């Protein structure tokens, strides 16, 4: 894909890259004007989890980010032990996870990480987990015309997918690593599109992120061109 290939920049991401934050209902009251004034250019906002949870702050957060002039997108917290990938992708797309080529909407993101409620890998084998993610990704693409960004850690990916390769062909990577460097990436990825490098900071509430590129590249990602 042209826009994906265009982001293949040398690691590590430099601090001059566009800055972002990601928020959930834990950050229900965000002063988006201040966030924008701090230099933040983009935001990811939690929309859904599993097939029964909708972020009650999503609408106000998404509208606030839009009004402040940020490029914004939404993310879904995966619960692979609850229902199929297709079911959750459909739920996400219908409840804030949609996409349009308006130049300000980032592709939806699949947040898949260690289970906060139970079994480390949600009780799935590595092959079953790969199948679940593939099901989510393909269904989201069918619903929206875009493949989702995958948010994860290299440790989780190695543990729960067997360090599967292949997703780099369609899915931009959003790696979480709270360190001064990105470190090793999941198999197949030679770069990350987003880097969540801290869980707090001066730019605004929520987790702190960087985009691997420049502002024009961020706009291209949003546009899908």
Residues annotated as part of the active site: 22, 111, 113
Q: Report how far apart, in Å, the C-alpha atoms of 201 and of each of 4, 20, 28 are.
A: 28, 11, 17
Residue 218: phi and psi, rounded to 5, are: -60, -45
The conformational region for residue 163 under phi > 0 = left, psi -120 to 50 = alpha, else beta, is left
* Closest C-alpha among 39, 131, 120 to residue 84: 131
Residue 151: alpha-carbon gap to chain centroid: 5
Is residue 187 reached through a cis peptide bond, with omega within 30 degrees of 0 on the bond before it? no
């Amino acid at each position: 894909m042209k826009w994906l290939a265009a982001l293949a920049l040398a690691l590590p991401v430099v601090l001059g890259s566009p800055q972002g934050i990601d928020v959930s209902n834990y950050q229900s009251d965000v002063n988006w004007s201040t966030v924008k004034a701090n230099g933040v250019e983009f935001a990811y906002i939690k929309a859904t989890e599993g097939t029964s949870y909708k972020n009650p702050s999503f609408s106000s957060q998404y509208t606030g980010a839009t009004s402040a002039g940020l490029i914004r997108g939404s993310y879904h917290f995966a619960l692979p032990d609850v229902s199929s990938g297709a079911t959750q992708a459909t739920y996400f797309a219908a409840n804030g996870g949609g996409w349009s080529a308006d130049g300000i909407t980032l592709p939806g993101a699949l947040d898949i990480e260690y289970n906060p409620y139970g079994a480390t890998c949600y009780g799935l084998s590595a092959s079953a987990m790969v199948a679940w993610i593939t099901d989510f990704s393909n269904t989201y693409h069918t619903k929206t015309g875009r493949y989702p960004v995958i948010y994860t850690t290299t440790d989780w990916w190695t543990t729960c997918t067997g360090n599967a390769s292949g997703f780099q062909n369609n899915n931009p990577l959003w790696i979480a690593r709270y360190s001064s460097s990105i470190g090793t990436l999941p198999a197949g990825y030679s770069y990350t599109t987003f880097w969540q490098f801290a869980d707090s900071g001066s730019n605004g509430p929520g987790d702190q992120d960087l985009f691997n590129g420049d502002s024009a590249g961020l706009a291209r990602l949003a546009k899908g061109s």
